[in-house]
Amino acid sequence: MMLLLIDTALIIEKLVLILVVVMASLGIAMYMTLAERKIAAFIQDRRGPSRAGPWGLLQPIADGMKLFFKEEIIPNFSSKFLFILGPGLAMITAIMTSSVIPWGDTIDFFGRTVNLQIADVDVGILFVFAVVSLGVYGIMIGSWASNNKFSLLGGLRAASQIISYELAMGISLIALLMVVGDTLSLKEIVVRQQNGWWNIVYQPLGFLIFLICAFAECNRTPFDLPEAENELVGGYHTEYSSMKLGFYLFAEYINMFVSSVIMATLFFGGYDVPFFDEAAHAHWGNWVDVMCLGALMLKVGAFIFLFMWVRWTIPRFRYDQLMRLGWQILIPLALFNMLVTGAAILFFNK
């Protein structure tokens, strides 16, 4: 009976944590749209959204209501089931990656010690890559089901781009895992960075490759060829309207948020606060956990600002330039970085 009560409490705890993470991800993605428009306005020397609420803070809610109340259009010659499945799959895969991210250590809540991670699996990195790889199916299914040549061309571009840059990203990650040691758990990677230097010190080139590939995986400028409006109107989601279009747009911002969290976790210590000994200040209680979560969000905010800054600064590549960068530059660089990392580990571990 006692074991059953413990299992029930653990299930409720995980369900609440899932709800909090999902709703927080949606809320952050919603206000990332406002941040992007404000940053774009600042770079272009204009005001940006300012009418909906003070400083435009209600603009994301107004945009969401507009998407909900717009007319729902499904093309007559589309594959209707797949047309609806595409944006749903893109949204689900974007949210699923957050399930293995350590948002902090533990927190005491109503007499229970709650682990601030939905699932601490031993192969957390592989889970992230597997789910991210599935995300391209949402784009491909939606573009093919639209029965629109421009949408299909955008979907093909997205698939070839994501597959190409996943190779360089995976090889750069191999070099990082060689430094970390015998673990694929994101929580353990953070703990090992707390006990030494952050991984960015050991893998600066690997981080640069990973960052560039993250831009490509999120379809962000200068890698937004799948949505190039001057060539494809709207790319793979040309035929979409209302909240099905909203799902695709939300998936992009959630992917950008999750990618920022993963980069902060892998290379910048995750929720580790620099020059602060969490164990020595354990008597502060939950305030230490709040501080660690705040540190993670600051790192994530810096990456999100970089995503947006680059979008409004650099023009997009031509498609041949994009492919050349992925296959002829990033993959050889990632292989070189892996070989140098292996040689350095062998030399210093003699």
pLDDT band of residue 107 (cuts 50, 70, 90) is confident
What are the tokens at 268?
């910048």
pLDDT band of residue 340 (cuts 50, 70, 90) is very high
Q: What does the pLDDT read at residue 122?
A: 82
What are the tokens at 3?
């074991």
Q: What does the pLDDT read at residue 282?
A: 67
> Hey, which residues does 112 pair with through a beta bridge?
109
Arithmetic mean of pLDDT over the chain: 85
pLDDT band of residue 117 (cuts 50, 70, 90) is confident
Counted domains in the chain? 1
CA dist., res. 15 & res. 9, Å (int): 10
CA dist., res. 266 & res. 299, Å (int): 12
Q: What does the pLDDT read at residue 286?
A: 76
> Mean pLDDT, to the nearest integer, of 287-312?
90
Whether the per-residue pLDDT at 234 is higher than 80: the answer is no
3-state helix, strand, coil in the chain (%, to 5): 75, 0, 25
pLDDT band of residue 266 (cuts 50, 70, 90) is very high
Under 8 Å between Cβ of 59 and 52: yes
Whether the per-residue pLDDT at 305 is higher than 80: the answer is yes
Say what percent of the chain tops pLDDT 70: 93
Could you tell me the residue range of the domain that residue 138 belongs to?
2-348
Q: What does the pLDDT read at residue 304?
A: 93
| Region of poorest pLDDT, from 27-41, 119-133, 300-314 | 119-133
